[in-house]
C-alpha cells in the first residue's frame, strides 16, 4: 500500500513537471512568435518615435499591436498606408481605417471677417487671445489665427494665411493634435477624399452671422433642400453640415449656397487635394 502511494505520488510529480515544462516551452514559443510579429510590425512603422499614438516609442507601439492591445491603425503618422502594411503582416486587412485629414472649418479671412479690437498683447497664442472675448474677430466661431495649431503639428502641415489656419493636405497625417489645440474647436478630422465641406461653424442667427463675417453660414437651409442624397443637414437648426458617407459630390449644394461657404473638390490623387470656395450670390 505504501509502495502504491509512493508510485502514485511519483507519477503525479512527473506529470506536474512535464506540464510545467510544456507550459514553459509553450510560453517561450508564444514569446518568440510575439517578438517576430513585433519586428515585422516595427519594420512597417515610420520610426518617428513621436508618441502621437499614445506609446512612448515605435517599438512599444509595435508590441501593443502584436499583442492585440492596439489596432493596426495605431500609428497616426503613417496613416492608411502603414495600417495596410501592418494588416497584411497580421492578416487583419478588414481593420484598416479610412484615411483622415484635418480641416479648418472657417472661411473668415482678414478680408471677410470684421474685427472688434486690435490684439497686441505680445502673446502669439490662440488660447490666450481667445480668453479676451473670444479673440479679436467679431464672429465668436472664427479662427483666431495665431497658430496654436501650427505649433503642435509635427508634420508642418498647417500655416496661417490671411489670418486663418490652412492645412496642407499632402503633409497632413490626420493625427488630430491640431483638433485638440484649437480653443474654438473649429478643426475637424474628415475623410481625406471628401467631395464637399462647409467652411463655417457659426451657430449664430443668420443676421448675426452675416454681421460678423461676409463668408459666414446663415443657416438658410438651401443647401439641404437641393441635396438629392439628403447628405446636408442643419445642426441645431442653424449650421449646415455634410454627411460625408452620403455625399456623392454632385456639387448642387456648392452651386446653391448664397453665402459661398461650401467648398468643393477640384482634384484628388497623386497631385494632392485642391478645393474651390463657392462664390457669394447677389441676394438683393
Q: What is the DSSP string of 18-49?
A: HHHHHHHHHHHHHHHHHHHHHHHHHHHS----
Q: List, by residue range, all CATH 3.30.70.20 domains of the chain.
A: 100-277
Question: Helix or strand or coil: residue 260?
Answer: coil
In CATH terms, the fold of domain 100-277 is Alpha-Beta Plaits (3.30.70)
Q: Which pLDDT belongs to residue 116?
A: 78
Q: List, by residue range, all CATH 1.10.15.40 domains of the chain.
A: 30-95
Q: Which pLDDT belongs to residue 283?
A: 47
CB atoms within 10 A of CB 93: 11
Question: Helix or strand or coil: residue 97?
Answer: coil
On whether the CB atoms of residues 150 and 158 are closer than 8 A, the answer is yes
Average pLDDT along the chain: 83
- Residue 104 reports pLDDT greater than 50: yes
Distance CA 92, CA 97 (A): 11
Q: pTM of the prediction?
A: 0.71
Q: Which pLDDT belongs to residue 143?
A: 93
Q: Which pLDDT belongs to residue 15?
A: 60
Q: Which pLDDT belongs to residue 71?
A: 81
Question: Helix or strand or coil: residue 177?
Answer: helix
Distance CA 266, CA 264 (A): 7
Q: Which CATH architecture has domain 30-95?
A: Orthogonal Bundle (1.10)
Amino acid at each position: 500500500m505504501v509502495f502504491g502511494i509512493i508510485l502514485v505520488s511519483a507519477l503525479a510529480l512527473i506529470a506536474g513537471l512535464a506540464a510545467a515544462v510544456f507550459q514553459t516551452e509553450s510560453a517561450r514559443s508564444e514569446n518568440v512568435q510575439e517578438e517576430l510579429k513585433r519586428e515585422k510590425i516595427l519594420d512597417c512603422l515610420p520610426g518617428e518615435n513621436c508618441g502621437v499614438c499614445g506609446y512612448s516609442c515605435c517599438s512599444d507601439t509595435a508590441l501593443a499591436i502584436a499583442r492585440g492591445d492596439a489596432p493596426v491603425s495605431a500609428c497616426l503618422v503613417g496613416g492608411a498606408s502603414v495600417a495596410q502594411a501592418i494588416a497584411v503582416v497580421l492578416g487583419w486587412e478588414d481593420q484598416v481605417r479610412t484615411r483622415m485629414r484635418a480641416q479648418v472649418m472657417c472661411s473668415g479671412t482678414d478680408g471677410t471677417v470684421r474685427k472688434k479690437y486690435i490684439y497686441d498683447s505680445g502673446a502669439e497664442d490662440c488660447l490666450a487671445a481667445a480668453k479676451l472675448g473670444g479673440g479679436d474677430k467679431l464672429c465668436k466661431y472664427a479662427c483666431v489665427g495665431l497658430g496654436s495649431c501650427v505649433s503642435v503639428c509635427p508634420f508642418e502641415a498647417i500655416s496661417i494665411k490671411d489670418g486663418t489656419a490652412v492645412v496642407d493636405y499632402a503633409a497632413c497625417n490626420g493625427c488630430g493634435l491640431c483638433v485638440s489645440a484649437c480653443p474654438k474647436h473649429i478643426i475637424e478630422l474628415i475623410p481625406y477624399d471628401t467631395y464637399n465641406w462647409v467652411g463655417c461653424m457659426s451657430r449664430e442667427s443668420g443676421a448675426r452671422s452675416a454681421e460678423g463675417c461676409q463668408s459666414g453660414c446663415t443657416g438658410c437651409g438651401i443647401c439641404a433642400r437641393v441635396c438629392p442624397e439628403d447628405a446636408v443637414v442643419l445642426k441645431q437648426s442653424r449650421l449646415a453640415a455634410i454627411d460625408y458617407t452620403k455625399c456623392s459630390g454632385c456639387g448642387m449644394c456648392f452651386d446653391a449656397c448664397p453665402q459661398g461657404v461650401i467648398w468643393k473638390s477640384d482634384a484628388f490623387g497623386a497631385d494632392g487635394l485642391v478645393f474651390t470656395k463657392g462664390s457669394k450670390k447677389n441676394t438683393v
